[in-house]
Chain A
Amino acid sequence: DAGVIQSPRHEVTEMGQEVTLRCKPISGHDYLFWYRQTMMRGLELLIYFNNNVPIDDSGMPEDRFSAKMPNASFSTLKIQPSEPRDSAVYFCASSLPSWQGDTEAFFGQGTRLTVV
């Protein structure tokens, strides 16, 4: 398996534009997580899904952020409208369900977002 795949790797956009980040989890993984990392706040959990259903979105900063998981192999994180303070590295991760014993989460390489 190629691991968790995120796209794009880098994104530069102007303030006010819509930004869509994409993630393909590892096949067979039931959990999918979205994180944001900045120097000031570290790694923050934004939202996570189980079997394509959002379980906890308490980390989503505000209504400008939305995440979807239309099927088991694809998820998106959308920011509309984007603001300079959204500049960060966004990570996606996936893991097997707990009943399968190993709850190791695998992370993608991240998307570096810059909003100017």
Chain B
Amino acid sequence: DAKTTQPTSMDCAEGRAANLPCNHSTISGNEYVYWYRQIHSQGPQYIIHGLKNNETNEMASLIITEDRKSSTLILPHATLRDTAVYYCIVRVLLNQGGKLIFGQGTELSVKP
């Protein structure tokens, strides 16, 4: 599975959009981009995933560049409850041998 690079920490003002970047320059054609988050003391929570196209769900939007070497997770209106560690993971599907491996992630602090 491809390696990802994320900033160690970021701040965001409450109510503003939080844009979390992820670099995955060695991504392969069959590898998906996944985002999870972990709120303190809880198990990680799935947010969104995508292959090539941009994706949106009730939690967030995922923007993947055309060359797929980087992506951005967007929380459109961050709240204090979005304070968490956000993990970007690149992997193939499980039935192709993909593993859910977590890096260090980005610690997002949403401030009032």
Residues of chain A touching chain B, judged by Cβ–Cβ distance below 8 Å, are: 4, 31, 33, 35, 42-43, 45, 48, 50, 56, 91, 93, 95, 97-99, 103-110
Contact = CB atoms under 8 A, between A and B. Distances in A.
Contacts of B43: 4, 91, 93, 107-110
A97 B94 contact: yes
B3 to A, nearest CB: 14
Contact of B101 (A45, A93, A98): A45
B94 A103 contact: yes
Chain B residues touching A, range = 20 to 34
Interface of B: 32, 36, 38, 41-46, 49, 87, 93-96, 98-105
Nearest to A30: B94
**Across the A-B interface, the 9 shortest Cβ-Cβ residue pairs:** A107-B43, A98-B93, A43-B102, A104-B46, A98-B95, A98-B94, A107-B44, A91-B43, A108-B43
13 contacts: A35-B102, A42-B102, A43-B38, A48-B99, A91-B43, A93-B44, A93-B100, A95-B94, A98-B93, A98-B96, A99-B95, A104-B49, A106-B46
